A = this chain, B = another copy of it.
Amino acid sequence: MSGPTRSPTLADVADAAGVSLSTASLAFSGNKPVSDATRQRVLGAAESLGYTGPNPLARNLRQGRSGVVGIAVGQLSTAFRDPAALPMLDAVSEVLGAAGLGLLLMGDEDDHARLPLDAVIYDICGRETWAAYDAFVARGIPLVVVEGPTWPGTTFVDIDHRGGSAALARHLHDLGHRRVAVLTLEPSHPQRQREAGLRDVFPDAVVIGACASDHGAAQQLASDWFDSSPDATVLVCQSDVQAAAVVVEARRRGLSVPGDLSVAGFDGVPTPWLDLELTTIAQPLGDKGRAVARAALARIEGDDVEDVLLPVTLRVGSSTGPA
């Protein structure tokens, strides 16, 4: 019965098993063949010593890797409020997890300089978040940016915001719409691209306001807009959450969608509380996440990686109709 002693190390296990340190290491890692007999002896010794496997910290230093990838998402609460964020996060986590890597959430406020990160993913985040950017580049940490403006030395994964928006605009034009209003996102790379796509078809589209992809904010903007007796026949939103909020507000005022007003969104997420299907641009959220994760993995391996541009799909629902 000894006192509270330090936890056993691989060296202790090796001693107990009567083998060398390197052999014990191999018994655990399997990086080189070890005879069955000795492996059993090592594992047995580990078991009886209460050794739970190689210390990750030591391994990390030795291998120069932490096995952790950071993901910057701006403010957590707002970042995940939009359901479009989740399938992508899920896919990222799945691919990284399968490769044995963990995913670390990075808030805007935090100081990440001391965190052991093998790569960092920037997911649709605003200017503030870019602050730490240069520091990571200086540390030589691979960066993967989702839906951000291009930047040298970084891998980019994006969707065809502009093409998708233009396709939607053509659909609306075909339906006879000519007076188009837009509810945009706050200034960002996606916002600019999506607006540009819309203007490819409707150069005179009127922006009625900008807000986050948040139900409350969008409904308020819609309410103000309805109060102004607008003459547009369609309101194009830059997210489904916004579009759903507009539909709710229209209904609240006794307006019919799409009878009195057509409404369109962006993303292609479920809105089960609406009894109509939004017309929207569906983006491949899972594919996007997988592309991001794969890019991060490749960059960690030191491989060169091509930027990725994913296609989107116009999904015509029942929230748009003839002008």
Q: Any chain B CB within 8 A of the CB of A37? A: no
Residues 73-90 of chain A: 1 if any B CB is under 8 Å from the residue's CB, otherwise 0? Answer: 001110011010011011
Q: Give how many copies assemble into the complex.
A: 2
Contact assessment for A70 and B138 in the assembled complex, using a CB-CB cutoff below 8 Å: no
Closest-by-CB residue of B relative to A63 is: B57
Contact flag A104-B103 (CB < 8 Å), given A66-B56, A275-B252? yes
Alpha-carbon distance A68/B106, docked complex (angstroms): 11
Contact flag A58-B61 (CB < 8 Å), given A116-B67, A275-B252? yes
Contact assessment for A102 and B93 in the assembled complex, using a CB-CB cutoff below 8 Å: no
Q: Any chain B CB within 8 A of the CB of A201? A: no
**CB proximity to B under 8 Å, residues A187-214:** none
Closest-by-CB residue of B relative to A138 is: B52
**CB proximity to B under 8 Å, residues A75-128:** 75-77, 80-81, 83, 86-87, 89-90, 93-94, 97-98, 100, 102-107, 109-116
Contact flag A100-B111 (CB < 8 Å), given A76-B86, A81-B83, A275-B252? yes
Alpha-carbon distance A285/B178, docked complex (angstroms): 47
Contact assessment for A272 and B215 in the assembled complex, using a CB-CB cutoff below 8 Å: yes
A-B contact pairs, 22 of them (CB 8 A): A52-B135, A52-B138, A56-B66, A56-B115, A57-B64, A67-B114, A75-B90, A76-B86, A77-B86, A77-B87, A89-B105, A93-B110, A94-B109, A97-B109, A97-B111, A100-B111, A103-B104, A104-B105, A215-B272, A216-B270, A219-B273, A248-B273
Q: A56-B116, A102-B110 are in contact. List 15 more A-B contacts (CB 8 A).
A: A53-B113, A56-B66, A60-B61, A68-B68, A68-B102, A70-B102, A76-B93, A77-B89, A77-B90, A93-B105, A93-B107, A97-B107, A100-B110, A215-B272, A215-B273
Write the residues of chain A forming the contact surface with B, with a CB cutoff of 8 angstroms: 7, 50, 52-53, 55-61, 64-68, 70, 75-77, 80-81, 83, 86-87, 89-90, 93-94, 97-98, 100, 102-107, 109-116, 135, 138-140, 215-216, 219, 244-245, 248, 252, 270, 272-273, 275
